[in-house]
Amino acid sequence: MALTATLYGFDTRLSDIDRGVYENFNARLACQPSETVEYMLTRYLAYCLEYTEGIAFTEGVASGDEPAVLVRDPTGRITTWIEVGLPDADRLHRGSKRADRAALYTHRNVAQVIAELSGKGIHRAAEVLVYEFGRGFIAALAAVVERRNEVALSVTERQLYMDVNGRAFETTITAHRID
C-alpha cells in the first residue's frame, strides 16, 4: 500500500520589514513520505521570505524538474528559482539558467552544502545565494509544528522572529555564496 502525503496548514501573518512586504495568507503544504518535516518547514520559510506576486509551491520532493518554490511573472516565465536542502548541482545549474535569479534555503550544515556545490559548474554560481538559519532553529520548529498552525512571522535586518501556535522562536538568516 502506497503512503500518502501529510497535509499541513499555516495561517500566516507575514511582516517582512526588510522588503516592505506585509501579507496574510494561508499556506497549505503536502509533506511527502520521502520528505522530512524539516525540509517541508524550510520550504515554507523560503516561500515566506521570498513572498511576492506570482510565488508558488511546487510538489516539493515529488516535483521532478521543478524547484521547491518558484516565482512566475504574469506571462508565466519563471523569474525566481528557489531550491531547498541540498539540491543536485545540475538541477541548480538548470534553474539558474532558466530564471533571472536562483536561491537556496538550507536546513543542513551550510559548510557541507557549499562544499558539495562548489566547483560544479553552476551557471552564475557566484550570484546564487545560500540562506542558512541558526543552528537548531528548524529542528525546534519541527518539534512543535502541528497539522494546523497559526504563524506570525517578522523579518527585520535579517533577524527572523516567529510565533508558531503561541511559541516564540528567533534566528538570524545568513546569506552565503557558492565559491
The pLDDT of 67-79, averaged and rounded, is: 96
CA atoms within 13 A on the CB side of 20: 0
- 0.75 exceeded by pTM: yes
Has residue 178 got a pLDDT over 80?
A: yes
Average pLDDT for 76-104 = 95
* 110: number of Cβ within 10 Å: 18
Structural contact between residues 173 and 133, judged by C-beta atoms closer than 8 angstroms: yes
**Could you report the per-residue pLDDT of 123-132, keeping only the tens digit for each?**
999 999 999 9
- Could you read off the pLDDT of 7-61 as tens digits, one per residue? 999 999 999 999 999 999 999 999 988 889 999 999 999 999 999 999 999 875 5
Task: Give the chain's mean pLDDT.
Answer: 94
Q: According to the model, what pLDDT value does residue 32 have?
A: 87
Sketch out the chain's domains with CATH numbers: 7-177 (3.10.640.10)
pLDDT over threshold 70, residue 1: no
pLDDT in tens, 117-171: 999 999 999 999 999 999 999 999 999 999 999 999 999 999 999 999 999 999 9
What cell does 44 get? 515554507
What's the half-sphere exposure (Cβ side, CA atoms, 13 Å) at 151?
31
Instruction: State how far the alpha carbon of 11 is from the alpha carbons of 42, 83, 108, 158, 173, in Å.
Output: 16, 23, 26, 22, 22
User: Looking at residue 33, what DSSP letter applies?
Assistant: T
Q: What is the pLDDT of residue 156?
A: 98
Is residue 108 scored above 60 in pLDDT?
A: yes
Query: Cα separation of 28 and 154, whole Å?
Result: 19
